[in-house]
Structure 1
Amino acid sequence: MKVIFLSFLSLIMSVFVQIAPKKTEPAQIPLCHTSGNDMSMLAANKEFQLMHVEPVAFSYESKAGSMITFPTPDGKTASGFFLKSKNPSDKWLLVYQEWWGLNDQIKQEAEKLYNDLKDVNVLAVDMYDGQVASRREDAAKLMQGAQQDRLQNIMKGAIAHAGPKAKIGSIGWCFGGMLSLQSAILAGKQADACVMYYGRPVQDVDQLKKLDTDVLGIFGSKDKGITPEMVNTFQENMKKAGEKVTIKMYDADHAFANPSNPVYDKQAAEDAYKLTLNYLKGKLKA
């Protein structure tokens, strides 16, 4: 009788287990594009999108540059707008685009730097694999969809294209400002200079310790995307990492240095360019 009772009790318990509600883990709020890049979440933010008024359409015909391709470590190829030094040089400047892509405005900026720096190879790297946006909605999608692995492979390919003896500087704006800092970290001992205009900074101290160059950071105090608080944290983390950073904060908004942006601040942009040029000339000496 005892055996029958225990069997019956076991049957009841098994049925209860099957019909009882299963304990579930707390719901996880999905992170926006965790497989993307460090600015994916910003790109998805409507307020951040509205900071970028659609640029004025214009075409730029280069006098010295042309498009090239180079291999990347993931077995693919990447492209860029290349301006070769008139005299043989192991000095290189990698130029990183805004979220619009490698458009004529970035090519124009690359050629301006090329003419002013002299005897420096300048490569404006195409981080979107040929895609360019003229509407902010499209630019947001491109920046959200840019995968971190691919971005790193393109940067590594550009560094390798410069060659193992190259001394490399980098510069970028917005999305490219973030990439400029990441590029300098990837370049290791080859990194000679790094300029980042209002880009999301790397905040990981261990990553910042890998820098082999100081950094010039140019930001706007009115920027609601890359905020002064974020910049202050970056300064603190650079100090913790034992790295040197020079921060110039202008009374300006995001993308203030882009002439096609209605919030363009001519005075601040010209001052920032002088600061940038003096810094790069001092670092990328012949």
Structure 2
Amino acid sequence: MYMVYDIGGTFVKYAFVSQTGDVKTSGKFETPYVDALTLIDKMVTVAKDFSDLKGVAISCPGTIDVDSGIIYHGGALTYLHEVNMKEHVSKALHVPVSIENDAKCAALAELWQGSVKDHLNSVVLVIGTGVGGGVIINGSLYRGAHLEAGEASYVMDHYDVETKKATFVGETCSASLTVKAIADVIGLEPQDGEGVFRYLNEGNLEALTIFDRFCHHLAAQIINLQYVLDPEIFAIGGGISVQPLFLDRLRKAIDEILTRNPHHVAKPKLTTCHYRSQSNIYGALYQHLLEYQ
């Protein structure tokens, strides 16, 4: 059995999981914002309550060197920068430990048992606060020379040659920023995603105008990626992907771009990710199995 952690900005979710992905028990605790050792001590304490522990798999924000176990940047958890969590946890529990970036774990989950498992070349995009994900080439996750492959948030959406300023995909294709913008316009609470989609599904013009702008920004980047990587399929994840309207409007945006720009020959194929809130758990486990079996 394996202990798997999904470190998030609000909670650390954990699951005691079999080799085949059967979850025996799960839980969560609030993410501490004190320091790295406080977080690691809490993870170790949780794991010690379980017997027959064969290994620990971790999904974590930041740029992750999976070989050394060193975390760079750490997303919202800035105290994780240059921390070797793999080494700390392994020494405390005396079992093999693996660690991988959270968005790449989502991609690994889809590769292992999800929506791209039957494809050699694919791209998984996780649409949330920003845009993360993973690039699958010849059936394996491609991390890149500097561990940055799949970090779509840093791709420039527009560059002004006069001001030398750019807008980035992490902003223009942010689901959370889009929900907030729509909520502001129609008078809802900033995080009321259900309310926003109620208005969208009812055909509210103001809401759809903002939402379609977001879909077109994302559609343009998907078309760009189709030319650069030429994947068989794109799997779209994140909380917004559970809304049928999202994929419908995204496909419509792609079709409109291709129609208005007839020189295009790319025809991206889209699907939704199979895994939802548990994707990081399954992907982290798969990374562990790849490393140690």
Structure number with the higher strand fraction is 2
Identify which of structures 1 and 2 has the higher relative contact order when contacts are C-alpha pairs closer than 8 Å and 6+ apart: 2
Q: What TM-score results when the alignment is normalised by the length of structure 2?
A: 0.25
Q: What TM-score results when the alignment is normalised by the length of structure 1?
A: 0.26
Q: Which has the larger radius of gyration?
A: 1
